[in-house]
Chain A
Amino acid sequence: MKHPDNLKYTASHEWIRAEPDGTLSVGITDHAQDALGDLVFIELPELGRKLAAEEACAVVESVKAASDVYAPVAGEVVAVNGAVVDTPGDLNKDPYASWLFRIKPAAGSAPAGLLDAAAYEKGLS
């Protein structure tokens, strides 16, 4: 599993995938799910919510602790993955299939400071 090369990462342990329609899918990394342990509760942002860059907009809670998930860019929430709310453990099994939400970047906004897999992993060690 670990950290696929085709994704981008944040220092706050989100992964970001650019979709063909210009939106960005956001999830938590393999490192994040491993460090948190079994996930038991997930709260997603409301559809249509306008987010500032780096705004806390979702919560993942494990048996151990609660952790915020941040928007990688200013924009609007255009989709949420309701399935993970019902089975939070899916995030442990496959954190890259279990996206949390999709954001459409606001006009003129682009995510800043994203890391590639190698840089993300370097930051972990």
Chain B
Amino acid sequence: MHRTPLHSAHCAAGARLVDFAGWEMPLHYGSQIEEHHAVRRDAGMFDTSHMLAIDLQGAGAREFLRAALANDVARLKQPGKALYSCLLNEAGGVLDDLIVYFLREDLFRVIVNAGTAQKDLAWLEGLRAKRAPQLALRARRDLAMIAVQGPMARKRTFQAVPELRAAAEPLGAFFGAQAGDAFIARTGYTGEDGVELLVPAPQAMAIWARLADAGVRPCGLGARDTLRLEAGMNLYGQDMDESVTPLESGLAWTVALEGARDFVGKAALLEKTPARELTGLVLRGRGGVLRSHQKVRTASGEGEITSGGFAPTLATSIALARLPAGTVPGSSVQVEVRERKLDALVVKPPFVRHGESLLPKF
């Protein structure tokens, strides 16, 4: 199994390790729920070094990405700006979701999921060879990644790693900047303020230790999952994969269909109206926990939960579910939980933002 440059720090901290997409990663360091609360209330950090940064370098990098991605990197006008996008196949199916940073006109950085990294690299390499042979694609396994998240995340990061402060303090949301041999971006996967650090792998252990000394709590994949679910963010492989389009995955806002620009998968997306949509569910009352693959009954047919769980911030169970299109927020549905049918309310994600519940009163 692959190990990140922070593996020994996780072992020393007593982490429960699990196999995640072939990587031995911390699930939690004792209590997943306490780690979740640390991020909502103060600051927590995640080892995300299993994800992969891919640099695209050369003339025409922007045009290449305009054709490769469903979102339009023409939207990236200021250096450092980031954009969330899906990478689609010709059928409009989601190969992966990613963040792309505009660093220079001849240098863009894409960060992709761990489980899809090799597939993405091969896919992008195929496109590159065909459309932009002058470009160089470089997989940056030499970088470690640490996400520091929470209302106090930036303050504690600057305390711990003061050499990042000058470059990072002015950053607005969804901007990144180079700071020496580190890259720091004001992005994340939790619905909180925070930063993501990309640092040369040999420096990762020292930075992790300094962050811990500054009061940043190590958090595992368990908390990362409940935080992103509360924030209404999809998990690739669970809420979407190649069998669905972004329009069926709550990601229409990330697909730039307007205008003449062509991109891989566009024709397929324009061809048909999606029959399903990804939306949020909140369990009414108690009676169980919503989980992926549970069946959902709606007035207009059946659907299925793609991600579900207990939301520590809300002290109830929430889910993302793929339901027949047109199931509007405020509708009541029933979820089959073991032998029971439990009532749930359809809501528009996110469920939590900046530590606060966004749920309607019911």
Contacts and interface: CB of A to CB of B under 8 A. Distances in A.
Contacts of B310: 40-41, 61, 63
Interface stretch (B180-188, B273-281, B285-293): B285-293
Q: Which of A40, A43, A63 has the most CB of B within 10 A?
A: A63
Chain B contact residues, majority secondary structure: mixed
Contacts of B32: 37-38, 63
B222 A64 contact: yes
Interface in A60-90: 61, 63-64, 66, 89
A66 B28 contact: no
A63 B222 contact: yes
Contacts of B287: 43
Nearest to A41: B289
B28 A37 contact: yes
B33 A89 contact: yes
B48 interface: no
A58 to B, nearest CB: 12
A49 to B, nearest CB: 15
Nearest to A34: B16
A61 B289 contact: yes
Contacts of A59: 288, 338
B58 interface: no
Contacts of A92: 31
A38 B220 CA distance: 13
Interface residues of A, number: 12
B309 interface: yes
Interface in A27-70: 37-38, 40-41, 43, 59, 61, 63-64, 66
B306 interface: no
Nearest to A64: B222
B291 A66 contact: yes
B222 A37 contact: yes
Interface in B1-52: 16, 27-28, 31-33
Contacts of A43: 287-288
Contacts of B28: 37
B33 A63 contact: yes
A59 B286 CA distance: 13
Given A63-B32, A63-B222, A89-B33, A40 B288 contact: no
A63 B309 contact: yes
A100 to B, nearest CB: 16
Contacts of B31: 38, 92
B310 to A, nearest CB: 4
Nearest to B31: A38
A40 B289 contact: yes
A41 B286 contact: yes
Given A37-B222, A41-B310, A66 B33 contact: no
A38 B33 contact: yes
A41 to B, nearest CB: 5
Contacts of B85: none
A103 to B, nearest CB: 22
A89 B37 CA distance: 14
A59 B287 CA distance: 10
A43 B16 CA distance: 27
A80 to B, nearest CB: 15
B309 A41 contact: no
Interface string A5-29: 0000000000000000000000000
17 contacts: A37-B16, A37-B27, A37-B28, A38-B31, A38-B32, A40-B33, A40-B289, A40-B310, A43-B288, A61-B289, A63-B32, A63-B33, A63-B222, A63-B226, A63-B310, A66-B338, A89-B33
Given A37-B27, A37-B28, A43-B287, 7 more contacts: A41-B310, A41-B317, A43-B288, A63-B33, A63-B226, A64-B222, A66-B289
The 10 A-B pairs of least Cβ separation, nearest first, read A40-B310, A38-B33, A61-B289, A63-B32, A41-B289, A38-B32, A38-B31, A37-B32, A63-B310, A63-B222
